[in-house]
Amino acid sequence: MEFLELLANMSIWSAIFLVGGLVLIVVEMFHPGFGAAGISGIILLAAGVLVTAKTWMQGIIMTLILLVILAVLLSIALYLGSKGKLPKSLVLKESTDRESGFSGTDDMQYLLGKKGIAITPLRPSGCADLDGIRLDVVTRGDFIDKDTPVTVVEVEGNRIVVARSSSSENGTSV
């Protein structure tokens, strides 16, 4: 009964607010960004409910119907996203690999062969001073005491592997 009264209360402005609000929310689902479309859509839907509903019960019924419609639209958007049928503006076109100039970490390869001193005990991880730069380092399982000369033997991403070196080849004073 309330639903039929609700339909009878619909005016042209109510329809414009409700349809416009739904369209703006769908636009926000497929073109996320600043959120202006989504916020405007919510405002239009609220205005549509306020203009149309004459009682609290009608407002609640309308809000529930709109939530069901939005849930169905979101389900459709998620389904399309899982099947790869999203608009081209949402899909990354280029690869983010090293050949394209992208890097997730700084290139630490320049440290390979550098000599320094363990400034904390390495058991097997700790800190070392390499040319005045304090860096987190690891060993290949060896325990190295503090103030022991070390040499960088491997660099993999931001993982720096050191090994014990003799003080004569280190070149730094202990």
Q: Do 55 and 120 share a domain, yes or no?
A: no
| Token pair 């730094």: residue | 172
Residues of the chain where predicted confidence (pLDDT) is lower than 70: 1-3, 6, 86-106, 167-174
Identity at 84, one-letter amino acid code? G
- For 17-45, how does the pLDDT look when each residue is reduced to its tens digit (9 = 90+)? 999 999 999 888 877 777 888 899 999 99
Q: In angstroms, rounded to a whole number, what is the distance separating the alpha carbons of residues 140 and 109? A: 18
Same domain, 80 and 130: no
Examine the domain organization and report whether 37 and 68 are in the same domain.
Answer: yes
Residue 24 belongs to a domain = yes
Note whether residue 99 is domain-resident. no
Whether 14 maps to a domain, the answer reads yes
**Domain assignment of residue 146, given as a range:** 109-170
Comparing C-alpha atoms, which of 144, 142, 148, 154 is closest to residue 113?
A: 154
AA identity, residue 42:
I
- Entry field: residues in the chain: 174
Tokens read off for 97: 């690999």
